[in-house]
Amino acid sequence: MADLEQAATRHYDKRNLGESILAALRRMGKDVNALRPEDLAPVDAFHVRGRVATEELARFCQPVAEQRVLDVGCGLGGTARYLAQEFGCHVVGLDLAPSYVEAARMLTERLRLAAQVEFRQGSMLELPFEDGSFDLVWSEHAQMNIADKPRLFAEIHRVLARGGRLVFHDILQGTGGAPHYPAPWAADADASALIGPAELRRLLQSIGFDVKLWEDKTAAGRDAFRKVMASLREKGPPPLGLHLLLGSVAPAAQENMLRNLEENRIALLQAVLEKMR
């Protein structure tokens, strides 16, 4: 495993994560034996702009039930379950952190979606799938800890069928200088591997992707995160929130996330690309 992947696993992996989520849900008065997807919203879509960003990408690429979908860096499986429930897709979720995969499986079973969504633990640099296995590869806030971008996107290109699409919503390097740390994706700069939008676009095109959508969402992300932080400052963290995933570093990481957005130290990008060769 690459050094940055090891750092990412240490950063994200939490003991008893699934039980912590269930305990928080119980404190909120939820019936953990009759969960609904919206019950998990505070942690299920913890990328910037949450489910709104996922829905925007879905409207653009219009998944269909017959498509084979891979969600790389799937976290707790929120997007994988959304695609299965809303579009009828069969989705495979892959994540590096064992506790995330275990929690994703447990939550998916409780939401009665296990027949449509499965999860595997593994590296994005060595995808455990045959060539051309998927029609759609989806990723949200997953590549920031991977330094070997050429290998990462070459692997995604390999497992996509010809004409298949790569869909992502990601954090990239901004124009305002190095980000402040800790951040939600890394405790320090040594665990982070951001790339600029122009460099990423050149890389993807060189691998054999054709750009269908390339949209900067930094301003929208900044506005959304300001609202998140205003609520946290006024009310404090809810029972179910980012602190369950990041632990004691969460308050500083969230404050720095807003600073990074406001100072253009990070950029947010939504993109859809098609495998051309």
Amino acid 12: pLDDT: 79
C-alpha span between 239 and 197 (Å, rounded): 35
**Ranges of the chain whose pLDDT falls below 50:** none
Amino acid 10: pLDDT: 78
Following DSSP, what letter does each residue of 179-243 receive, concatenated? PPSSBTTBSSGGG-----HHHHHHHHHHHTEEEEEEEE-HHHHHHHHHHHHHHHHHH---SSSTH
From the number of C-beta atoms within 10 Å of its C-beta (0-12, 13-18, 19+), residue 151 rates as middle
Nearest to 143 by CA among 198, 200, 216, 105: 200
CATH number for the 3-275 domain, one of 3.40.50.150, 3.30.428.10, 3.40.50.970, 3.40.50.300? 3.40.50.150
Nearest to 82 by CA among 103, 56, 100, 121: 56
Amino acid 1: pLDDT: 54
Amino acid 92: pLDDT: 98
- For residues 195 and 148, the answer to whether their CB atoms sit within 8 Å is no
Distances (CA, A) of 28 to 32, 227, 251: 10, 22, 21
